[in-house]
Amino acid sequence: MPYVITIVPVMPLRAEPSHRSEIVSQALWGECAEIIETGTDGWVRIKCQFDGYEGWGTVNHLEIIDERLYNAPYTHYTPSWVNLVKVNGQPMHIPFGCLVKKDNGAVTTWGRAEVQFEEKLKEAGNGGQLDQEGLTAAVFLYLNTAYLWGGKSVFGVDCSGFTQTVFRTLGVSLLRDAYQQATQGKTVDFLQEAKLGDLAFFDNPEGRITHVGILLNDHEIIHSSGRVRIDPIDNQGIINADTGIRTHQLRIIRRLS
């Protein structure tokens, strides 16, 4: 099956091959995937390289690439809230956290697309010791971003898209959904032992994990709920800082590094 790369700032991935279908996730600019099914009217079902997530996209958001580029490592990411590049000589503004497979030099080629980097990229982390300074800078770029089901960018983000995109700039690979992320890392037994970068997970009345956020310390969490916000947290869960109402029931805390 062909390999492809995303050449628009944010590509929606849909449950079905229709613009009216639910957006289940997104692929950010520079994200590679494999076409696993071809539909009609330009729709293709893809499997994202980074997390294995599948969904329907359109071919005009993608560029076919060779296996060499597909297998190359992600080396850099876009560090600003919005970043300027040129694709085939035309300007494009792309969001924070786009992972990039960058050749040496200011210009690189993705299939038929000539990509010119107008601003400096930042080297992606290696997944070792957690870069707390980088983590702090990343999470605060999202502050007050609107909640968007399936979203993964500073233009609109859901809870697990927020955690995934932040951590992948640090070289830490998270799965796409909150319940999947809850299987990663190691358990922190008590909230009082939590530190910056630990992930807190929350369940619904049926016991299903439906929400995740990033702990700033043992009493504050940043998470996407209505918007990306900072709220107090205790052993029971999250309390909305504006209303004083408890909104999420704490289930488990996980540490990734």
Mean pLDDT for back-to-back runs of 10 residues, the chain (257 residues)? 95 98 98 97 97 96 96 94 96 97 81 93 84 93 98 98 96 96 97 97 96 98 98 98 97 94
Read off the tokens for 178.
């909150």
Question: Which phi and psi angles does 113 have, rounded to 5°?
Answer: -95, 125
For residue 162, the model assigns a pLDDT of: 98
Domain architecture of the chain: domains with CATH = 3-123 (2.30.30.40), 132-255 (3.90.1720.10)
The edge-to-edge listing of strands for the beta sheet with 76-77 is: 99-100, 76-77, 122-123
For residue 131, the model assigns a pLDDT of: 87
Alpha-carbon distance of 184 to 256, in angstroms, equals: 7
- Cβ distance 98 to 28 under 8 Å? yes
Q: Cβ–Cβ contacts within 10 Å for residue 256, how many?
A: 18
Alpha-carbon distance of 206 to 87, in angstroms, equals: 47
Alpha-carbon distance of 96 to 29, in angstroms, equals: 10
For residue 17, the model assigns a pLDDT of: 98
For residue 102, the model assigns a pLDDT of: 79
Question: Which phi and psi angles does 15 have, rounded to 5°?
Answer: -70, -35
User: Active-site residues: which are they?
Assistant: 159, 211, 223
Q: Is 151 helix (H, G, I), strand (E, B) or coil?
A: coil
What is each CA distance from 74 to 102, 153, 250, in whole angstroms?
A: 8, 18, 34
10 Å CB burial of residue 194 (0-12, 13-18, 19+) is: buried
For residue 10, the model assigns a pLDDT of: 98
Q: Cβ–Cβ contacts within 10 Å for residue 162, how many?
A: 27
